[in-house]
Amino acid sequence: MNKRRDWIAILDFGSQYTRLIARRVRECGVYSEILPYNIDSRKLLSKKPQAVILSGGPASVAARRSPMCDRDIFRSGLPVLGICYGAQLMAGVLGGKVARAGAREYGKTTLLLKSADTLFKGLAPKETVWMSHGDKITRLPAGFEIIGSTANAGIAAMGDRKKRLYGLQFHPEVAHTPKGKRILKNFLFGAAGCRGGWNMHSFVKSSIRMLKEKIGSEKALCALSGGVDSSVLALLLHKAIGKNLRAVFIDNGLLRKDEAALVKKRFKDYCRINLKVVDAQDAFLKGLKGVKDPEAKRKIIGRLFIEAFEKEAKKSGRIKFLAQGTLYPDVIESSSPLGGPSATIKTHHNVGGLPENLKFELIEPLKDLFKDEVRLAGKELGLVDDIVYRQPFPGPGLAVRVLGAINKERLDILRQADWILIDEIKRAKLYRKLWQSFCVLLPVKTVGVMGDKRTYDNVAAIRAVTSTDAMTAQWAKLPYRLLERVSSRIINEVKGINRVVYDISSKPPSTIEWE
């Protein structure tokens, strides 16, 4: 863990909101890290957190083999805040009682405050909160008092001020609890005594210092794609090690229209970064020929990337480090975070596709950041808005947007369709309001009529979503006239497409990318 003045440990019991807790804490100016719920208390204390937050989770405390944290955490002297399942766990471990609720409480409800001290300082006697639970605390542990209740939960909030242990049956981290951030701030700066100071200025400053210390006089390779993640990574490394950075742009033939020329202009000519552009289109298309499985695509792309880097490394002399722009959501979706109960959704080429015999020492300076934090870091580094606010683009590129088998013809068709979509979205001034917007080429063909002639061509799907961190996303309600223009232009301007459809599924249950 990075050396910081104070930080909060968040133990993950599998809640869909665990990452949101981490983001809210950081927004309050305090660094946070998600750790496995069963971490040994001695190991946790050795990291010297300022406090511990227990997340919610889908399990029942009353069930056999339910997730259990080390009991010594409650005797460590650290302030602890339990949220939903975390509050029930705290109650059960410390001698209280948890029972199945007569009716599951879900949604907005009114919290009646019994105390305006500590957690609820500055709040009104009644506040709106968001509930999502099937169990409830029916008896307080010794030393605790009720500090909040609702119509359906007599013990909606409890606290032991002396030991600085608190439990909330509701979720303060979600937007549906309007004063939730105030409650978290009261815990962080009141009960836990945090000093704050975590922001992107401090992150950039400390990251440059740590990169200088770690890399020293060695050289590092950086995978530069032109997206915000790799751009921030490249500039961060450039400021840390200067000429010892070997930024490599691999033109793998899976990129957006005119991407290679744009990256070269921005970073080699403007930012003066030591950049090498490598044309590897033939190698990637050959390696992906006939491959339809999306996981296989990712692993092949990851392997070919590493092979390309190793080849460049030999040309550049001895290179010890490989830097990647892996983000927190990448790690979370690729594997259970640090042993936590969250399920694997998919691998990313920059997380799950690396060979076991990697010849470089991997460094991932951005792996603890969410996308919005990376954008703030980019602003701090002086990147132009056109890069900072660029929509996310998957590491495997168009390989996971051309569904099924890949070839140059299908990639070119998708490239042109995608360019039209983004052009129209920018004209409508909606680009920065969307988290992602892109086209997908489906592995099916449909009958159409063009110029009084029968056609049998490809189908393109439009995907546009709104989100804050990519952990959840809502399909965007794009104006019908905009969709009409996009469809008309794609069908008329892109040879090979005769039908356009719009994806109206949200995440979950769907993912943002189709593969």
Annotated catalytic sites, by residue? 84, 171, 173
Q: How far apart are CA 235 and CA 228, in angstroms?
A: 11
Q: How far apart are CA 231 and CA 384, in angstroms?
A: 11
Q: Which of 286, 285, 268 is nearest to 277 (CA)?
A: 268
- 13: Cβ contacts below 8 Å, ≥ 6 apart: 37, 54, 55, 56, 57, 59, 67, 85, 86, 89, 340, 341
Q: Which of 365, 436, 438 is nearest to 403 (CA)?
A: 438
Any bridge partners for residue 145, and if so which? Answer: 159
Please state, as a whole number, how many other Cβ atoms lie within 10 Å of the Cβ of residue 496. Answer: 17
The helix (H) or strand (E) run that includes residue 203 is: helix 200-215
In this structure, what token pair is assigned to residue 464?
């546009």
Residues 17, 56: contact at Cβ < 8 Å?
Answer: yes
Per DSSP, the three-state class of 410 is helix
Eight-class DSSP state of 32: E
Cα angle value 5/52/189 (rounded, 5°): 55
- 482: Cβ contacts below 8 Å, ≥ 6 apart: 424, 425, 428, 430
Q: Is the peptide bond before 67 cis (omega within 30 degrees of 0)?
A: no
Q: What amino acid occupies position 168?
A: L
In this structure, what token pair is assigned to residue 309?
């880097």
